[in-house]
Structure 1
């Protein structure tokens, strides 16, 4: 980015609600952040919002030699405080802050979010690879759509600035209105959209229902986070304005730093894709995909046992166990075949139902809980089945407790009271049987 600020200081680096912020201005803003922090500030928490100040904070922290840790202002205070404590007191050397680019949190089965420590070397490896994958040039304008608390935002920001292009921030993109989103894309001449697959599904439905097409400025749509619905893919191919628009399906984990696999769509099905040049892949005997290479995270900050469980050594190399089961097609592309654990994607965000169960169990009116994911109308949602005490087991109070302690994507869409949980022969909670028994009882 510094090179673009020197060579073309007046070129827009950010466009915020139609107002440009030049590369020269951005360089000055991040420089002010760097000076305020001083050298090697360690991990710096930031209230992350869709505005130029957040991007300047991210880049300024990096320029100062620190690690960026975003906190969503919409998260419950208890969640934000837990995240602050997790990065303030790591507790072991596995997540040494020196040389880290950022710390992001993923869902964990223990009830506490897991801080993923990603080194600068990883983002330095991936950013140019993504700029090449997306075909970015200085003429591009890339919509910054993802939450600034999730790693997808780095796919939108870092390769864009590396290429000398402009990051577009638009309040209307987050309004929940497709017409307002599309007007913003047209107004700001956005050329690249990076959307969660579930959101893209709904966008395709909207365009098909209204007969409208994408704005003419769009040349690339990147999707990822969930399986692509064949019906939406067929609708996409018939929409006005999509001919010549590149559709790219992508796959990656927070622990493997952004995108590791990509496939051009439409095609034969909707595979995970092919590994990018910097990525090493390995398929275990049970079909689990392992990812290796220079872009792996260091591990989970302060969580040596969980780090050892997911970051493993095979034949002298370090690998991350993704938990995804895959198979390889004849053309070499990988196809998703399910999960080896209970993790699901909600709005493109990885969720472990065990974290929600652990939080529910902290309520004094809950004696047991089972959380189950279901897909209805192409949308994945969570239902919590709880066994309550008579004294304090009010469902409205339990729901309020969950909303107070968990961010929105972890809050179950429904909480149902059951007399008892079902168990397997080995004594573990049988979540599917619990859900099935409840649904049968309602008939």
Structure 2
């Protein structure tokens, strides 16, 4: 049975879950398991250690830990202390992590002994999870503060067109609103198992983690090596009875590519929630869902500045799916606006830029008031609130849902025609010889610009055959002039497609011709 929560913060929701479902497993990490009561108690010890070190509400505390039960204890512990958590992906280059620590002003790093050691010093100190759980210096019943809905919940760094990474500060109220909605939208509840797939520095991981724990569900940990191996990921999900997974489209694509090599019919998977980039309903994805008749896909959209703000549940019949499905309608507490270049509402069917208002809008960019003022604007609703200017293009459908049309700054033209790269990728990926595709352009504006497709083949790959098939389905300007067969598409640490990496690959041999 699904469990709903009305808590104003994720900390409150987790406390309720610990009281109601204390003996239900909260985390399964290999042979180790923590129930909700134990997770809550251990997180409390971490929180009290942090308070004893002088941490107060609103302070930024970094979390650097391997994928494990300890990571989750540390995450909940930092939030129970009243601090704003800065999740650090320990697979990132050390120089980038040091930049985040310096920019955030975090003076404490929580994690395992081997993960926090490199970051101690220079005014920062380490809190080792094992020591915090075993220590006796802090009374076990020392009172902990209840975070306020307006307090900062997390600080996440995101790259942008302006150059270096910038941090987004999300209040507790925003994440709590998302968790509250997800608790009712998903058919999961106490004991239901969700794979802890997302990288901790990716906002979807926080949706995945807290929407599971807040409903008395169980997170199944996956180590980094298994996560990077889609066959082993399938095997873990099958053996562990995983019912739900959140992941970027590229991650879903990787699972689809190997689905013929594993007995997916034995899987308990009931819900797939892709987000972070355009979902493409390829032939292979449709075939997979036909093998999983009880499983449903729910397409989410939302930049890190707002987290998830819209949802589109796909129909049960894969044969009825669009190749590029809508991103849906706003979840409760949010509003969206599609505005033209003059800032006026775009008509149904017209392309405009997407603006987001409501509970999911973050406080803006950490210590960057000018950039915040540029992207977070007064709401056109006239309610005194703010909207976030996403930089994404969208189109309103007659039923009120939205089509996602890519980034405004990623728009490309070939011989004067506007090219939607996602449309090209979806069409190429639908060919039975193609497992995955990433499209980009190479060359200068004008007659020298060419459309390039990087293809991960299933077995053999004949570029001329694929091109001939595409010419029967697409206008000429959407048919790639150059194909490159590759073993894998470049990815960002979050698991999204690395479009800049694709462009760099294409520029190396922009006129190499088909192969």
Asked if Structure 1 and Structure 2 have the same fold, meaning a TM-score greater than 0.5 normalized by the shorter chain, the answer is yes
- Aligned mates of 1:68, 1:327 — CA distance in 2: 35
Shift of residue 250, structure 1, vs aligned partner: 1.1
Shift of residue 243, structure 1, vs aligned partner: 0.9
Shift of residue 295, structure 1, vs aligned partner: 1.8
Q: Does the alignment pair 1:106 with 2:106?
A: no
- Aligned mates of 1:243, 1:149 — CA distance in 2: 33
Q: Does the alignment pair 1:192 with 2:244?
A: yes
| Other-structure match for 1:47 | 64
| Other-structure match for 1:243 | 293
1:222-256 Cα distance to aligned partner (Å, 9 max, x none): 11222233324x64246553112111111111111
Shift of residue 414, structure 1, vs aligned partner: 7.4
Q: Does the alignment pair 1:299 with 2:350?
A: no
1:46-85 Cα distance to aligned partner (Å, 9 max, x none): 1143111111111111111100001122222221111011
| Other-structure match for 2:399 | 331
| Other-structure match for 2:328 | 273
Where does 1:377-392 land on structure 2 (aligned, <5 Å)? Answer: 377=455
Shift of residue 283, structure 1, vs aligned partner: 0.7
| Other-structure match for 1:388 | none
Cα RMSD (Å): 3.3
Secondary structure at the residue paired with 2:409?
Answer: coil
Where does 1:269-418 land on structure 2 (aligned, <5 Å)? Answer: 269=322, 270-286=325-341, 287-315=352-380, 316=382, 317-342=385-410, 375-377=453-455, 413=501
- Aligned mates of 1:84, 1:296 — CA distance in 2: 24
- Aligned mates of 1:47, 1:318 — CA distance in 2: 33
- Aligned mates of 2:285, 2:294 — CA distance in 1: 15
| Other-structure match for 1:117 | 169
Structure 2: any 5+ residue segments left out of the alignment?
A: 1-13, 107-148, 342-351, 412-420, 423-439, 441-449, 458-492
Where does 1:416-435 land on structure 2 (aligned, <5 Å)? Answer: 435=507
Structure 1: any 5+ residue segments left out of the alignment?
A: 90-96, 346-352, 354-371, 380-405, 418-431
- Aligned mates of 1:112, 1:157 — CA distance in 2: 28
Q: Structure 2 length as normaliser, TM-score?
A: 0.65
- Aligned mates of 1:223, 1:301 — CA distance in 2: 27
- Aligned mates of 1:240, 1:408 — CA distance in 2: 25
Moved more, 234-243 or 23-32: 234-243
- Aligned mates of 2:287, 2:503 — CA distance in 1: 38
Quick one: structure 1 residues 374 and 196, their matched pair in 2 at CA, closer, same or farther if it must change by over 3 Å? Answer: farther
Secondary structure at the residue paired with 1:377?
Answer: strand
Quick one: structure 1 residues 248 and 59, their matched pair in 2 at CA, closer, same or farther if it must change by over 3 Å? Answer: same
1:370-408 Cα distance to aligned partner (Å, 9 max, x none): xx99652279xxxxxxxxxxxxxxxxxxxxxxxxxx999
1:270-325 Cα distance to aligned partner (Å, 9 max, x none): 11111112211111014001000022110000111111111111333310011111
| Other-structure match for 1:142 | 194
Where does 1:80-95 land on structure 2 (aligned, <5 Å)? Answer: 80-88=97-105
- Aligned mates of 1:244, 1:415 — CA distance in 2: 39
| Other-structure match for 2:313 | 263
- Residue pair 2:250, 2:495 contacting (<8 A) in 1 also: no
Q: Does the alignment pair 1:16 with 2:23?
A: no
Where does 1:167-178 land on structure 2 (aligned, <5 Å)? Answer: 167-171=219-223, 174-178=226-230
- Aligned mates of 1:181, 1:323 — CA distance in 2: 34
Moved more, 73-82 or 252-261: 252-261
Quick one: structure 1 residues 327 and 378, their matched pair in 2 at CA, closer, same or farther if it must change by over 3 Å? Answer: farther
| Other-structure match for 2:84 | 67
Shift of residue 160, structure 1, vs aligned partner: 0.8
Moved more, 102-111 or 5-14: 5-14
- Aligned mates of 1:201, 1:135 — CA distance in 2: 24
- Residue pair 2:202, 2:494 contacting (<8 A) in 1 also: no
- Aligned mates of 1:84, 1:211 — CA distance in 2: 42
Count of paired positions:
367
- Residue pair 1:324, 1:337 contacting (<8 A) in 2 also: yes
Q: Does the alignment pair 1:129 with 2:204?
A: no
- Aligned mates of 1:254, 1:378 — CA distance in 2: 29
Structure 1 stretches of at least 4 aligned residues deviating more than 6 Å after TM superposition: 406-412, 414-417
Shift of residue 132, structure 1, vs aligned partner: 1.3
Q: Which has the higher contact order (CA 8 A, sep 6+)?
A: 1
- Residue pair 1:204, 1:236 contacting (<8 A) in 2 also: no
1:175-214 Cα distance to aligned partner (Å, 9 max, x none): 432221112112211111112111212322221x437435
| Other-structure match for 1:401 | none
Q: Does the alignment pair 1:182 with 2:247?
A: no
- Residue pair 2:86, 2:155 contacting (<8 A) in 1 also: yes
